Structure 1
Amino acid sequence: MAQVTLTVCTTCRKTVDGTRVAEEPRPGLRLYEALRAADLPDGVRVIGNECLSACDNGCSLVLSGGPERWTYIYSHLDPDTHVDEILKGAAAYAATDDGIVPWRDRPVIFRKQSLARIPPQKD
């Protein structure tokens, strides 16, 4: 199983009706800490990043696995309710060769809250 990475924006804020909520600690940091404290699936690691430039989209993260896989950006995540689904989605992604998990096998948040997907960067 290949190594995959969940990169979590630690500065993300929650948005309500397009307005960022001044909440501390920031939800992005709380999401990062909750994932770091969780029992991670095999082959999955979590890193934090200060900004993913998705500020209008609430808590965001990137799921990546190297140049042979698709990369996904997910947004509007909730540190209090989405950790288990994120981990299930990361495990399913890690089990693929190309990063494409069949739509029906993805957690609902990965079906509904995908901000972007980036094609493999292989030559």
Structure 2
Amino acid sequence: MAKKSGLMQVCVTCRRIDPTDTAADARPIEGQLLHDRLVEAVGKDDVLRDTLAVEPVQCMNSCQQACTVSLRSAGKYGYVIADLDKSDERVDDLLSFSRLYVASDTGAPVWRERPEHVRKNTLVRLHPSPEFPDMKD
């Protein structure tokens, strides 16, 4: 199997905030549910199955805007997208944006072509990381 060129990291500790819920442990771990749905959906997608890895990560420190996902690739812009959930609509939004992302040389797909939820809930666009020389002691 070829190395995948994109990486989606999904916070699996995200819980949706409900101010009326006093028992935090009673809330479902929405991030884990979103991760599981994305793994399944990417595995079935003809474009993404060979190009995008989906990785569970611990807290991404965006609890007030849970659930949170990052999308990165070497030499491309990276994104942090929030206010997600496991719904079909949000999973479809992430898949659509991911297809645009992996097809883009720079990681900056045309803004108008991005799903509306992604446009409105992108917290950060990170510039591509420079290549660092080998660090030797």
Q: TM-score range by the shorter chain?
A: 0.7 to 0.9
Aligned length, in residue pairs: 119
Give the C-alpha shift of residue 16 in structure 1: 4.3
Extract unaligned runs of 5+ from structure 2: 132-137
Q: Which residue of 1 aligns with 2:9?
A: 7
Q: Which amino acid aligns with 1:89?
A: F
Q: Which residue of 2 aligns with 1:109?
A: 117
Query: Which residue of structure 1 aligns with residue 68 of structure 2?
Result: 60
Secondary structure of residue in 2 paired with 1:97: coil
* Of 90, 95, 115, the match for 2:103: 95
Higher normalized helix content (fraction of residues): 2
- Give secondary structure in 1 for the equivalent of 2:125: strand
Q: Is residue 69 from structure 1 mapped to residue 76 from structure 2 by the alignment? A: yes
Distance (Å, rounded) in 2 between the aligned partners of 1:78 and 1:118: 23
TM-score, normalization: structure 1?
Answer: 0.88
Stretches of structure 1 that go unaligned for 5 or more consecutive residues are none
Q: Secondary structure at the match of 1:7?
A: strand
Distance (Å, rounded) in 2 between the aligned partners of 1:31 and 1:51: 14
Q: In the TM superposition, what is the alpha-carbon distance from 1:15 to its structure 2 partner?
A: 2.5
Identify which of 19, 23, 26 aligns with 2:27.
Answer: 23
Secondary structure, aligned partner of 2:124 = strand
Q: TM-score scaled by structure 2?
A: 0.79
Larger-Rg structure: 2
**Residue by residue, what CA displacement relative to the aligned partner does 1:10-68 show, whole Å, maximum 9, x if unpaired?**
00011246x896412x11000000001112424111000011111111100000011x1
Q: Secondary structure at the match of 1:59?
A: coil
- SS of match in other structure, 2:60: coil
Structure 2 letter corresponding to 1:61: V
